[in-house]
Chain A
Amino acid sequence: MNNTVVEIRNLVKHFPVKTGVIMGRTIGNVKAVDDISFGVSQGETFALVGESGCGKTTVANLILKLLDPTSGDILFQGKSLDRASGSEIRQYRKSVQAVLQDPYGALNPRMRVGHIVGEPLEVHGYGRSERTRLVRDALRSVGLPETSDSQFPHEFSGGQRQRIGVARALTLEPSLIVLDEPVSNLDVSIRSQVLNLLKDVQDQRGISFILISHDLASVEHMSHRIGVMYLGKLVELGGAEQICDDPAHPYSASLVAASTPPGRTPPWQIPIVGEVPSAMETPSGCAFHPRCIYAMPVCSQVAPSLTKLPDGRQVSCHLYPDHIGSIDKSASLPGLEFTTSTIGDGGPEVRPVE
């Protein structure tokens, strides 16, 4: 891949689970991120999707260097961060910024907007007059009046606060911004404003985005490539249109089916079964097999690995390459409308209590 801004290689993050207050015996590991690799090119939006608990935010925190990986490496402009010097790490932190989910929690209520937006500049040693100028530039570029730098966060609405968050991420002219659910806390009628703003920013400045979201519709709209995560692993990695129009992995397919608006036929009619298991007790073999209606005996024994399909995307599933041909994706399976009968052994009978 050319012009790769950030590449992560075999990234692993385990959180030990401890018991006891004083001795803290480790009783297990939560494999939040388990051997994940992908790269983000210049000007590209790479989206990580998955249910809550799948590890997508942990990946974001690792990329932001808020967490140190258990193993694996992050490459910034081709150089490993593992062996980077202090000044190189500083340079990396300057180049990678974040916009957070909650526009209310992300802004310190006691600081003026100018101070909030200018704080990254202060940290990186910019002088006062330059800071004022850059802060005003940033505010203008997100569609806020320059004079808002003397106001406090509470004077702004949710959408405007998220714009302040974007302005703060822009001041250091980063090459990558991590967007962690940037619109999910906003009102529906202003989500499109923020999504459009982010697209404009990307077009004008050629910034790369890593977009973390569970909303597949806005992910499809925003991103070029998508990585679908399930219990710490990537199960499918490919172009946004590829995955949304023709998902290859049964899990991606069920996410697409769940997000398909009523009245439309999902590309692969697949019901969603059960819930995400606890990350502490990851199922054997393919972690998705207890929820997969196509699970074969091999799925519970051998973990599949990401392999390339002829169309260029990667998928981690035992159905490939031999079994996928025998599946009729357009067959309407009983259970897509009423998935509940497949959730448990409660049986299909529903009766009110006497």
Chain B
Amino acid sequence: MAKYQHNGAGPILEVRDLRTHFMTRQGLVRAVNGVSFELEKGETLGLVGESGSGKTITCLSILRLLPRGGQVVGGEIILEGQDILKTSEDEMGRLRGKKVGMILQNSMAALDPVFSIGTQIAEPLVAHQGLPWKRALAGAIDLLRMVKINDPEVRVRNYPHELSGGMRQRSSSAASIGPHPDVLIADEPTTALDVTTQRQYLDLLKELQKATGMAIIFITHDISIVGNLCDKLAVFYGGLVVEYGSKDQVLNNPSHPYTKALLKALPILGEKRERLQTIPGEPPHAGNLPPACPFHPRCEQAMDNCKEGDAPPIFDLGYGHQARCWLLEKDDEQYSR
């Protein structure tokens, strides 16, 4: 078996023009339609989008854990120089958890109620690092300490229902970071938490990242919380990354009409707005995407070429800032792929 070694230069994870479709009884569901992004070591990328925009399916494609009927129909996923899509199922089992870890949204569902927290944190250490159980359980205590859980020696024997929501989310994170993944995918890990616990959890993620140097993909529907955590943002809409760039580029200089509208539609604490701007209509269902630009039925500036033909190409706005919108055609040279 060939050994792939990441040479330290270039992105640790590269997703190129990923397309993932589902065959369902209702027909073809085009969940992901050409998503590209890069992730450097130690970097945090935020995937922002509403339900059904394809952000979770993108990440499940990376882990090759797509639900039934789902299939990657195009593109490449390069993890440390290795194309994940061409990897055998056995090899994938070794990569999963070890190279790419995942934190799920609902920690109550992510943790098994009949096993103690310690067992569940130790299990990946046994599986991936070949540690004997005794040492893995000692490692679990260290991990619990690392995610700032009080009395880890006691907590390690607790069952999920004995912990609070915030503690459960921190414990399930401990299980994910145990085998030192290079990339950690966090799928809406704070949605079930209160604002205060949410802030604590985000700070913890940042601290863990500093200590381990892992790269994080942070999935969220709430563009307002990504600012502190993420270095880069990818805004998803209708299975496409409609805008991509550094946090400052996307938040301070949004270029896609959807990103602009989204940032204006949210109430912001400390900013008095008489009336919120709204985005008309509803986000589309992946089984029934509008043709061409998926955002055109809700876009105030939609032109004829937004409604017909292919989805708008990626326009480069400089310094890595990209957006898929025909409005940008005049301003900048088109970058074709």
Q: Which residues of A contact B (CB under 8 A)?
A: 51-52, 157-160, 187-193, 195-196, 199, 214-218, 220-221, 241, 244-245, 254-256, 258-264, 272, 275-276, 337-341, 343-347, 350-353
Q: Are B279 and A190 in contact (CB under 8 A)?
A: yes
Complex contacts, B195 vs chain A, CB 8 Å: 51, 214-216, 255, 258-259
- When the two chains form the complex, which single residue of B142, B143, B196, B269 contacts A254, counting CB atoms closer than 8 Å? B196
Complex contacts, B165 vs chain A, CB 8 Å: 52
- When the two chains form the complex, which single residue of B152, B197, B275, B276 contacts A275, counting CB atoms closer than 8 Å? B197
Q: Are A261 and B194 in contact (CB under 8 A)?
A: no
Does chain A have a CB within 8 A of B227?
A: yes
- When the two chains form the complex, which single residue of A264, A272, A352 contacts B199, counting CB atoms closer than 8 Å? A272
Complex contacts, A276 vs chain B, CB 8 Å: 164, 194
- When the two chains form the complex, which single residue of A188, A195, A245 contacts B223, counting CB atoms closer than 8 Å? A188
Total CB contacts across the A-B interface at under 8 A: 148
Q: Which of A51, A261, A341 has the most CB of B within 10 A?
A: A261
Does chain A have a CB within 8 A of B112?
A: no
Please give me the 5 A-B residue pairs with the lowest Cβ-Cβ distance, nearest first: A262-B227, A192-B276, A221-B267, A344-B150, A51-B194
Minimum CB–CB distance for B136 against chain A, Å:
9
- When the two chains form the complex, which single residue of A190, A256, A345 contacts B150, counting CB atoms closer than 8 Å? A345
The CA of A259 and the CA of B211, in the complex, are separated in Å by 26
Q: Are B270 and A157 in contact (CB under 8 A)?
A: no
20 A-B contacts (beta carbon < 8 Å)? A52-B165, A188-B221, A189-B50, A190-B279, A191-B265, A191-B266, A192-B265, A196-B278, A217-B224, A217-B267, A244-B269, A259-B269, A260-B269, A261-B224, A276-B194, A340-B207, A344-B150, A346-B148, A352-B146, A352-B180
Minimum CB–CB distance for A209 against chain B, Å:
15
The CA of A169 and the CA of B34, in the complex, are separated in Å by 43
- When the two chains form the complex, which single residue of A339, A343, A353 contacts B125, counting CB atoms closer than 8 Å? A353
The CA of A158 and the CA of B283, in the complex, are separated in Å by 10
The CA of A189 and the CA of B50, in the complex, are separated in Å by 8
The CA of A340 and the CA of B115, in the complex, are separated in Å by 27
Q: Which of B146, B223, B267, B269 has the most CB of A within 10 A?
A: B269
Q: Are B199 and A339 in contact (CB under 8 A)?
A: yes
**In the complex, given contacts A51-B195, A262-B228, what are 17 additional A-B residue pairs having Cβ atoms less than 8 angstroms apart?**
A158-B282, A159-B282, A188-B222, A188-B262, A190-B283, A192-B278, A196-B276, A199-B275, A217-B267, A255-B195, A258-B196, A275-B166, A337-B203, A340-B207, A343-B150, A350-B207, A351-B146
Q: Which residues of B contact A (CB under 8 A)?
A: 50-51, 125, 139, 142-143, 145-146, 148-150, 152, 164-167, 178, 180, 194-200, 203-204, 206-208, 210-212, 221-224, 227-228, 261-262, 265-270, 272-273, 275-279, 282-283, 298
- Given that A218-B267, A220-B269 are contacting pairs, would A160 and B167 also be in contact in the complex, using a CB cutoff of 8 Å? no
Q: Are B282 and A221 in contact (CB under 8 A)?
A: no
The CA of A189 and the CA of B278, in the complex, are separated in Å by 7
Q: Are B198 and A258 in contact (CB under 8 A)?
A: yes
- When the two chains form the complex, which single residue of A199, A217, A341, A351 contacts B269, counting CB atoms closer than 8 Å? A217
A216 (CB) vs chain B CBs: closest residue = B269
Q: Are A350 and B146 in contact (CB under 8 A)?
A: yes
Q: Are A344 and B267 in contact (CB under 8 A)?
A: no
Q: Are B277 and A192 in contact (CB under 8 A)?
A: yes
- When the two chains form the complex, which single residue of B196, B206, B262 contacts A272, counting CB atoms closer than 8 Å? B196
Complex contacts, A241 vs chain B, CB 8 Å: 272
Q: Are A220 and B267 in contact (CB under 8 A)?
A: yes
Minimum CB–CB distance for B158 against chain A, Å:
14
Complex contacts, A218 vs chain B, CB 8 Å: 267
Q: Are B282 and A187 in contact (CB under 8 A)?
A: yes
Complex contacts, A191 vs chain B, CB 8 Å: 265-266
Complex contacts, B261 vs chain A, CB 8 Å: 189
Q: Are A160 and B282 in contact (CB under 8 A)?
A: yes
Complex contacts, A339 vs chain B, CB 8 Å: 199-200, 203
The CA of A87 and the CA of B167, in the complex, are separated in Å by 49
The CA of A17 and the CA of B221, in the complex, are separated in Å by 37
Minimum CB–CB distance for A185 against chain B, Å:
10
The CA of A256 and the CA of B199, in the complex, are separated in Å by 12
- Given that A188-B221, A340-B207, A352-B180 are contacting pairs, would A261 and B166 also be in contact in the complex, using a CB cutoff of 8 Å? no
Q: Are A350 and B227 in contact (CB under 8 A)?
A: no
Q: Are A352 and B166 in contact (CB under 8 A)?
A: no
- Given that A337-B203, A352-B212 are contacting pairs, would A275 and B270 also be in contact in the complex, using a CB cutoff of 8 Å? no
- When the two chains form the complex, which single residue of B145, B178, B270 contacts A245, counting CB atoms closer than 8 Å? B270
Q: Are A353 and B143 in contact (CB under 8 A)?
A: yes
Minimum CB–CB distance for B207 against chain A, Å:
6
Complex contacts, B146 vs chain A, CB 8 Å: 346, 350-353
Q: Are A187 and B224 in contact (CB under 8 A)?
A: no
